[in-house]
Amino acid sequence: MKKSIIKIASSAAIALSLSISSFSAMAETELTMYYPVAVGGKLTKYVDDIVDGFMKNNPDIKVNAIYAGNYNDARIKALAALKSGKPAQLSVMLSVDLLELIEQDAIIAVEDLLESDEDKKWLKSFYPSLMENATFDNKKWSIPFQRSTIVMYYNKEHFRKAGLDPETPPATWEELIAAGEKLTKDDKSQWGMMIPSTGYPYWMFGALTKQNDQVLMADGNKTFFDSQGAVDALQLWKDLSEKYQIMPKGTIEWGTLRQNFLDQKTSIMWHSTGNLSVVKNKASFDFGVAMLPAGKMRGTPTGGGNFYIFKNTTKDERQAALKLMKYMTSPKIAAEWSIKTGYMGVSPEAYETTELKEYVKAFPYAAIARDQLKYATAELATFQTGRVRKMLDDAIQATLTGEKSPKEALEAAQKSAEKVLKAYRK
């Protein structure tokens, strides 16, 4: 009896040591990556394809790419995994999650991992306005991946029927209102325009304020919600439905807006560029894409997700994660990703690839987001950004549903934001 136990134990030990040695011969690093999808479409498949391509080139690295819901879900899952001790090594999360993640002590700065000159060159290869939300304390913490701006989608057939030139979309607020009035039908079966006000109202508002030459925040610890520029911008948003009646009253749902546009219930919609490919594939009519119009100037916030590397990782895992990020942001992959989704190519080199060059030639709207970058500003991001963002969201919705005046709502939001952010000023 005893003998046989020893026999079994020793053979098990041999088997174990064999498997360990074969394991170490492969020197496999395993990475878990969470990523979100905010706009629908076949994005999960595209991510899987890219990751498969990466693993083919790097057989020593195994990547589990896990689709984690929308941006909020992805952040929650990644942080929960972190706390449970079975963490992911990297994740795509909103670029504006940065300060929150630093405060949670969850991530390390990507810049700190870079050693070679080549690496440093890579960090500089991205569009500077995409790096704004990645910067804190003069350091770059994250790497842009699925980035977007807000663009204006418009229905060319409606433009023609209303006697507007479909090739010159409205370029200023005045033109937008004039066009909207022509496009809106009296029985409201067709609206002039829609700006979504659920989901990410602060993001759309960032565009309106920037167009009014006003930013919403500075240094992550100061907000300008009650500035005259912001109040006027919110007044305009409200006026679009109340005064000019070219947009439905109440809030407009982010999730169903695209369907509204595809069903031709609205002639113009403001939405993420991340929707471009879906609209292109599904629209049964001739549509156009344009930069957002200008108030005092043009403007849009950037948006979307960046790669982050978590702190609780080994040196090998960090290097492997870096490799994966480099692959996924390399011009060729970035170009492919942009073509498939409508998200922006994150570096100028991406737009120099033959694939994207040809695609842009055949479908010029694919370059609108890039062209708009020169008017872009950072997305609202502060300390305790979730809470502060919600204060602004509530103020916007309170105004649009007629509960408060723009000034009243924004002053209240500013006051609450001030209470939270005061502690973060030195």
Partner 1 sequence: MNPKLSRHIYGWLLVTPALILLIAFTHYPIVSTFINSLFSNGTVFKQSTFIGMESYQTMIDDPIFWKVIKNNLWFALGTIPTSIALAIIMALTVNKAFAGRAFVRMAFFTPTVLPMIAVANIWLFFYAPEIGLINNVLEFLGLEGKNWLGNTSTVLPAIMVMTVWKEAGFFMIFYLAGLQSISPELTEAAKLEGAGRWYYFRRVLFPLLLPTTLFVFMNAVLNSFKLVDHLFILTKGGPNNASNLLLYYIYENAFAFFDTNYAATLTVVLLVLLSVLALSQFFFLDKKVHYR
Give the interface with partner 1 as residue ranges (CB under 8 A).
72, 76, 100, 102-105, 191, 197-199, 248-253, 255-256, 259-260, 263, 265-266, 384, 386-387, 390, 393-395, 397-398, 400-401, 403, 423-424
CB of 145 to partner 1, least distance (A): 22
Q: Which is nearer to partner 1, 44 or 401 (CB)?
A: 401
CB of 199 to partner 1, least distance (A): 7
Angle, CA 349 vertex, CA 46 and CA 277 arms, to 5°: 35
Distance CA 64, CA 33 (A): 6
Q: Which is nearer to partner 1, 60 or 263 (CB)?
A: 263
In DSSP notation, 90-128 reads EEEEEGGGHHHHHHTT-EE-GGGG--SHHHHHHHHTS-H
Q: Is 186 exposed, middle or buried (0-12, 13-18, 19+ CB in 10 A)?
A: exposed
CB of 134 to partner 1, least distance (A): 18
Using DSSP, state whether 356 is helix, strand or coil. helix
**Residue 376 parent element (H or E):** strand 376-377
Q: Which of 309, 349, 347, 339 is nearest to 43 (CA)?
A: 339
CB of 322 to partner 1, least distance (A): 23
Q: Which is nearer to partner 1, 168 or 256 (CB)?
A: 256
Q: Is 40 exposed, middle or buried (0-12, 13-18, 19+ CB in 10 A)?
A: exposed
Token digits for 36?
């979100």
DSSP annotation of 137: T
DSSP annotation of 147: E
Q: Which is nearer to partner 1, 166 or 248 (CB)?
A: 248
Q: Which is nearer to partner 1, 357 or 387 (CB)?
A: 387
Q: Which is nearer to partner 1, 95 or 377 (CB)?
A: 95
CB of 264 to partner 1, least distance (A): 10
CB of 393 to partner 1, least distance (A): 7
CB of 237 to partner 1, least distance (A): 13
Q: Which is nearer to partner 1, 155 or 384 (CB)?
A: 384
Distance CA 202, CA 263 (A): 26
Token digits for 237?
């948003």
